[in-house]
Structure 1
């Protein structure tokens, strides 16, 4: 995989993940099993498909760790040579513009009196300080706030996963420079992978603990990081990959549909992450994906994957506005399917506009500025890229 060149299989996996998240959040607002989908596919099946969107986030974590690690090695040769300042600069260029825009939109709608965009304690319905919620978003402890108080702000709740990622990546270059040996770095990541299910085991019954806490989610990112190093060392045999991929995909689907993530998270999160890591390892040798090029449905899913960051951050803004105009209690039966179609079109359109005219141009400009500042350091920093 070359810096600045998109891996179509990665985008396909991202696309599947973001669609699962979108469906999950829509189903929470507008119950889908009592629509025609439930009649055609059985209510229990629709419920099973829609309830485990958090596994989509687990797959995102794996992809993120995979891309960050592989791109860091391509930029600096080895992980111990990672340039700390450049690493953080690249993360800021990609993450912060969209984060600031999201906060601007949500705070503006809250100030305008749109109730669902305000911050409230879900247990007592008492207001929560807007400044506290903004601080948690900007300093990456939204997951801690959610674990302590619940989902205090509807559209900003998605930032729990960004908090997990960015705290992990805060340590990424520091760990690499401190340990100075890839084997020791991998040793720390393996310890994080082992700690994940143990942490979740001891936080059963506490959604803030087994879903949103740092150490409940770090293992997915660490698995992605280790997968990138495996891909660098040896490509999976093509015949083995061809035989094993359908088996792994079937295992992922079975795990996803079997029970809710509340019942399977102890081992399920790690298993889903390992399965996703295998798919990345198997597809790394053929990033352009001829199957994706030939299949219109897969190309559509891949498109969603290319917009996945913007879609993830802003889809609850669209859904929050929809809930304000069409309260769930007033929508019945197959009317929900029309709203589902509208939601998918509106959310994806908004994400595409933000990506095309805001986040990607700013990303390129910030990276170009970083290149100019760091050009004497010898670090190879691309002006475009996916991570």
Structure 2
């Protein structure tokens, strides 16, 4: 009986926190978080290395080693968790300040950040298709252009294949501010339900694959990472995390998270423990990534914090979105497009991709970021 009372007491305690008003925690009481740019840098490095391994022959020792330790999709997962956490944090701060969400303002900011570089990239691909005769057709460009490349409405190709993740994020942006605006007090519950329901859907999709697109698998099957980031943002603003908690102090979290997530991806790639990892593997990875992210914000004297806040790491994170877009043009799997890209091999292809990303950021993307900043300042003075 005492145990049941203790469980009931803890449940009531958690529920009481969930229904309390949002309050900005100390570790999020700032306008810029360099650690998050550090996480972006880590994510894009994983993506680039995961793609770069495909430029080697599958019989080479380099490929065989990289194929067992580097997974590009893990980098995308980090981006997703980070995106959910940051977007929700910004919405919560706006709600605390104004008592509402300006949806028009939200979309203008997202458009100025996301659209310009992608559409420039698609234009470049369009020109290269004509010049190099890459045999691309309109379907290879329309899917990315409309942000539906995660669904099978249009044919895919390597040069635009990475835009599936942008489609997932854009589809998330289309629903999240509206949902938050209508039910801000219930967002913790909504996130929790979504996160717990998706593992059941993954079992359903495995058993009945022909229902995948009908039940939005291309979105929901990947957006679980975004929803996890959202949930941990809401929990942060509900007072669930603070600097005094033992989980941040024992120094065990980051090594445990690295080893666990790496093992999950390795086992999944080898088809091992599928009955457990199919529904729960990504869920565990998402939670560990989210906890690690919060750790890097809460504990500012840790080695993790110092690495993520290194000048060059933050700088790389700043251009990570553009780098994610452009790297697909320079890091092309071997024997693709009639070997026309095979002369671009590691590490030169990586160096070129990073160089193009910096040029894109400083001479193109910055213009739209300035427009975004000026619009933000204009709205704040109205």
CA–CA separation in structure 2 for the residues paired with 1:135 and 1:369? 29
Task: Indicate which of 221, 225, 233 corresponds to 1:228.
Answer: 233
Task: Indicate which of 74, 84, 87 corresponds to 2:103.
Answer: 84
Task: Give 1:96-245 correspondences, 5 Å limit.
Answer: 96-115=115-134, 118-119=135-136, 128=137, 130=138, 132-145=139-152, 152-179=156-183, 181-182=184-185, 184-204=186-206, 213-232=218-237, 233=239, 234-237=241-244, 239-243=246-250, 244-245=252-253
Between 197-206 and 362-371, report the one with greater CA deviation: 197-206
Matched, 1:257 2:266: yes
Q: Offset at 1:301?
A: 4.6
Task: Indicate which of 353, 363, 371 corresponds to 1:365.
Answer: 371
Q: Offset at 1:236?
A: 4.7
CA–CA separation in structure 2 for the residues paired with 1:149 and 1:25? 22
Task: Indicate which of 352, 357, 378 corresponds to 1:351.
Answer: 357
Cα shift readout 1:89-117 (whole Å, capped 9, x = no counterpart): 111111111111111111111122341xx
CA–CA separation in structure 2 for the residues paired with 1:281 and 1:248? 13
Task: Give 1:293-304 correspondences, 5 Å limit.
Answer: 300-304=312-316
Task: Indicate which of 273, 289, 295 corresponds to 1:282.
Answer: 295
Q: Offset at 1:367?
A: 3.3
Q: Offset at 1:324?
A: 7.3
Task: Indicate which of 44, 49, 68 corresponds to 1:23.
Answer: 49
Corresponding residue SS for 1:100 = helix
Distance 1:236 1:281, change over 3 A: farther
Paired residues of 1:48 and 1:257 also in contact (CA < 8 A): yes
Paired residues of 1:65 and 1:223 also in contact (CA < 8 A): yes
Cα shift readout 1:248-302 (whole Å, capped 9, x = no counterpart): 2221222233331875453222111111111112222246x66368669966554
Paired residues of 1:72 and 1:79 also in contact (CA < 8 A): no
Paired residues of 1:94 and 1:363 also in contact (CA < 8 A): yes
CA–CA separation in structure 2 for the residues paired with 1:79 and 1:161? 31
Q: Offset at 1:31?
A: 3.3
Question: Which residue matches 1:62?
Answer: 81
Q: Offset at 1:176?
A: 1.5
Question: Which residue matches 2:330?
Answer: 318
Normalised by the length of structure 1, the TM-score is: 0.77
Corresponding residue SS for 1:81 = coil
Q: Offset at 1:231?
A: 2.2
Distance 1:111 1:374, change over 3 A: farther
Q: Offset at 1:144?
A: 0.6
Distance 1:296 1:363, change over 3 A: closer
Paired residues of 1:73 and 1:79 also in contact (CA < 8 A): no
Matched, 1:47 2:67: yes
Query: Which one has the largest radius of gyration?
Result: 2
Matched, 1:72 2:91: yes
Distance 1:267 1:71, change over 3 A: same
Cα shift readout 1:174-217 (whole Å, capped 9, x = no counterpart): 111222x32x2222222221232222223339699599710101
CA–CA separation in structure 2 for the residues paired with 1:242 and 1:113? 56
CA–CA separation in structure 2 for the residues paired with 1:361 and 1:218? 30
Corresponding residue SS for 1:144 = coil
CA–CA separation in structure 2 for the residues paired with 1:80 and 1:194? 29
Structure 1: runs of 5 or more not aligned: 120-127, 332-337, 377-387
Paired residue total:
344
CA–CA separation in structure 1 for the residues paired with 2:211 and 2:328? 20
Corresponding residue SS for 2:82 = helix
Paired residues of 1:80 and 1:176 also in contact (CA < 8 A): no
